[in-house]
Structure 1
Amino acid sequence: MPDDPLMWWHAAASARSTEVWAGIAAGMIYVYHKSPLARSGRIAEAAVSGLLAYSAGSWAAEFAGVTEPVAVILVSSVGYLVLDLTRSIVADREILKDIISRKLGGGGNG
C-alpha cells in the first residue's frame, strides 16, 4: 500500500457507484431534516445514517432483492425511523414502565 494518507478515502469513494452515493446523500438529507435535535445532533445522526447505509447497503440490496441505490436510501431512512421510535418510547417513561411491567407479568389489565 502506498504511503499516501488519502489513499483510503479514494478507495472508499470509488468502492460505490455515483447512484449509490446519491442514495446515501438522499438518506442523510432525509435524516437531517426529520431529526428534532439541534444542528450538531442532526449532523451526527445523518453521519451515522450515511455510514450505516455505506456499510450495509450491498448486503441489504441482496437481502431485499432491490438495487443498491434503493437499499442505501431504505437503510438510512428506516434506520432513522427505528431510532426515532426508540427515542420516543424511552422519552415517555410511563409507557416504558407499562411495557416493562406487562412483560414481567405485573401489568394490571391483562
Structure 2
Amino acid sequence: MFLTNPHPASFLQRRVPALLKPIVELESEAAGTAHVADFANARACRVRGLGSALLRSAQSSCRKRGMSLLVASGNDAAKGFYSRFGYQETARRLYLDAKFRVTGKDWVVKTKD
C-alpha cells in the first residue's frame, strides 16, 4: 500500500498520540513522496521474488514523486532488501514500546528519488 505523504507540522502538534509522533515525524521528513505504509512478505514466500516484483511495480507507478518507507533499525533483512533497490536512510527517530520505554532501536525513514 502506498499513499502520498500528507502530514503538515500542525497535524503533529494537535492530533497524534505521543507514541506515534516519531513515526509521523519521519513520514513528514519525506513529504510529497509516495509512502509505502505496509510492506511484508510471509516467511514461507520469501526468496521467490514476490517482494521485489511488488516493490518494482510500486516504484514504476510512483516514479515522478519518489518513494519513502519506514523500517525498524533492527530489521537487517528489510534494510538490506530496500538498500538493494537504492533506498537511502534520510532520518531516524527513537523507537518506543507501547509503555513508552526506550528500546535501543530507532525507526528509520528511507527514500528513493
Instruction: Tell me which interval the TM-score lies in, with the shorter structure as reference length.
Output: under 0.3
TM norm structure 2: 0.23
TM norm structure 1: 0.23
Of structures 1 and 2, the one scoring higher in RCO (CA 8 A, sep 6+) is: 2
